[in-house]
Amino acid sequence: MSSSHSQAVIENRTCLRLQSLKNKFFRAHALDVEKQVIIADTSLNKRTPIRTKRGGPSRLARGLHQTSPTLSEHGISRVEIFDTVLPGLRAEFVLDPACPERPLLHSWNGRRTATVQKLEHDGVCYVPKALDNDLIRLIRFAPPSTSFGSVAGLISSLRDLFLNHAALQPEVTGLLVAFAVATWFCDCMPLAPVLCLFGPENSVSHVVRLLSCLCRRAVLLGDVDFDGLTALPNNVGATLLINQRDLGRRVKRALIASNRRHFNIVRGRRNLNLFGAKAFSCADSTEERFGVEVSIPPAQVPISSLSDAEEAKLSHSFQSKLLRYRLAHYDSICAAKLEYAGLLPEMQETARAWLAPIIECPGLSQSILNHLVRRSEEMAGARFFEP
């Protein structure tokens, strides 16, 4: 074999080796390119490729996944809510009547309602808060709203509930109805309503159960300590119905302090947002007075116990109507103009919380105002006689 032929064979083998190395390189490069992660850059509205190593996402990709869990794959922010107010639209957290474990959003645009699993607006996707702990499941959330007819008819049906199921006097019934309606508008008031119930424990317990059928996001508590308060979900606006007469001083102080919407409660490193209406079962010997006091007299006639099925039926019917009342009248009640003749200045915020939600019911509102005026006069008299 000639030397020229041998040289050609060597060059040919060298070329084949080089081509083989090139093919291996390009195959590896292609595999690496396939592992790129495309992450939505919402600030620049473009797609930014991020190269990752084999075997997992890069540090940058992992960081974005951990610090931006509310970004969907389309670059839309995902926000979990209990309720929200958008331009021309109000949305509320509700439970699906067909599947009570499934939360939904119920919206109102001033004319009609819609119930959806998510609500997208201005680049934000709103979804209902997850029922991810036992304490949230204790809260009685409303079903989707239904028509309530007239305001007078709605108030009359609430009165009938207490008259038929507790045989209470009209004045007491009026105070309970006003409290129940007021719980639906706490978030537009500087002060949340507080109700103190005195009387036999069995009678008060029965009334508290009836209130849970009417109040917004009611939760019945028979025994609660401070650690339990810290575990309650923040910003839910729950109505706490507390059937415990020996509340600890620390618990009571936190509950009363949380009655003002614009002030925070800080314990250690945690901010407790417990703002919302509250009703307490109180012993007659209670020295510290707060809130609006109502005496529940002993039952004069036998009162039939309320079954779980009856309670659920009553709750579903009234909660759906009261939710529609909130949606339809929220703006007008927030802007309501009231007269506070005969009330001490420190009683006026309390009066607003109780009277504004029933401003379209002159008879009931006048009865509540009379009760508050008497309480104001008692406070003024006690102050005059203080040493």
Burial of 117 (0-12, 13-18, 19+ CB in 10 A): exposed
47 and 185 belong to one structural domain: no
**Boundary residue ending a domain (286, 309, 324):** 324
On whether residue 87 sits in a domain, the answer given is yes
Phi-psi label, residue 54: left if phi above 0, alpha if psi -120 to 50, beta otherwise: beta
Residues 126, 162, single domain; the answer is no
Residue 314 has pLDDT above 50, yes or no: yes
* 124 and 160 in a common domain: no
Is residue 155 assigned to a domain?
A: yes
The helix or strand, by DSSP H or E, that contains position 132, with its residue range, turns out to be none
Asked if residue 364 belongs to a domain, the reply is no
In a domain, 16, yes or no: no
For residues 198 and 315, membership in a common domain is answered with yes
Domain of 217, CATH number, reads 3.40.50.300
For residues 180 and 271, membership in a common domain is answered with yes
Query: 62 with 87, same domain?
Result: no
Which range has the worst mean pLDDT, 42-51, 120-129, 304-313, 324-333? Answer: 42-51
Q: State the pLDDT confidence band at 270, using cuts at 50, 70 and 90.
A: confident
Q: pLDDT tens digit string along 208-266?
A: 999 999 999 999 999 998 888 888 888 899 999 999 998 888 899 999 999 999 988 88
Strand partners, 94: 104
Number of domains comprising the chain: 3
- On whether both 193 and 275 belong to a single domain, the answer is yes
Quick one: tokens of 22?
Answer: 């090139």
Within a 10 A sphere around the Cβ of 137, how many other Cβ atoms?
A: 13
pLDDT digits (tens, 9 = 90+) for 97-108: 999 999 999 999
Domain that holds residue 94: 77-132
Q: Based on the fold, state whether residues 177 and 307 are members of the same structural domain.
A: yes
115 and 44, same domain (yes or no): no
> Are residues 91 and 234 both part of a single domain?
no
**Per-residue pLDDT at 342:** 87
- Residue 176 domain-assigned? yes
What's the pLDDT tens digit per position in 71-102?
Answer: 555 668 999 999 998 888 999 999 999 999 99
Do 333 and 185 form a contact (C-beta atoms < 8 A)?
Answer: yes
Q: Are residues 82 and 161 in the same domain?
A: no
CA 102 to chain centre: 15
In-domain check, residue 5: no
Structure token digits, residue 341: 């003749």
